[in-house]
A = this chain, B = another copy of it.
Amino acid sequence: MRKANIKKDERLLDPMDNKSVVDRIIARITNAIINGELLPGQKIPTESELCESMHVGRNSVREAIKVLVAMGVLIIKRAEGTFVAEGFSDRMLDPMVYGLILEGGNTKYLIEFRRMLEVGVLNLAIQNATEEDIEKLKQSFDRFCNTVRNNSSIEEILDADIEFHRTLEKSVHNPLVEKICNVVERLSRETRARATEQFITKEELDRICELHERIINVLINRDEAAVLGVIDDHYQYWKDEIK
């Protein structure tokens, strides 16, 4: 009956007036988490208890919990209980993955975003990386070069490349940034595999090793001014893949 007609886009947590029973349960649980009633790692009431306390059916409770589990907010341990997750979860970025797929496989936007992320990561690494981080990065670089010069398959080279970038991202010391980079890398892997097939000549492989070395040098010298140029050169290869 009541038309509500709230402002409009003030969603994003706190549905509150969503008539759906399931949504109300979701809101109730998430609010409890936000308010600190439910702390990370803590056990939430059993399904039956939630049914009773909220006067709703068990199936509705289950649907609500399932949603939160899929989002990575709750973790179910069967026959033991349901618990609030602690910190980030991989699956929190899954919906973004679906979004990219539904966006029509437009890899252009993804590649552009990835480039943006890499620039940001290098900038942040310049600020936050420790000497130990840099040491690890050097080791990662050596492994990458060995892989490249060892006549490895594209898959292996790509893995080594990703490992290098992961190490770099770790040196930022920001789990949020790390998780997002993670997903973007996995998503753009196929595109990169196709792009990588093109510069399989020895000279190009040498050159890409050199580019990685330049990244390390920029980091060591904390040379912010050089960041954009390095990443741009690094991207020049598969830039043409953008259709």
Contacts and interface: CB of A to CB of B under 8 A. Distances in A.
Interface of A: 9, 11-13, 22, 26, 30, 33-34, 40, 59, 62-63, 66-67, 70-73, 84-104, 109-110, 112-113, 116-117, 119-121, 123-124, 174-177, 179-180, 183, 186, 224-225, 228
A223 to B, nearest CB: 12
A103 B98 CA distance: 23
13 contacts: A12-B94, A12-B186, A34-B101, A71-B98, A72-B95, A87-B99, A88-B99, A95-B95, A96-B96, A109-B175, A109-B176, A112-B174, A116-B117
A54 to B, nearest CB: 17
Contact of A72 (B85, B98, B228): B98
Copies of this protein chain in the complex: 2
A185 B47 CA distance: 35
B11 A90 contact: yes
B73 A102 contact: yes
Contact of A67 (B67, B174, B183): B67
B84 A95 contact: no
A11 B89 CA distance: 12
Given A95-B73, A109-B177, A102 B117 contact: no
A92 B87 contact: no
Highest count of chain B CB atoms <10 Å: which of A59, A67, A90 = A67
A104 B176 CA distance: 12
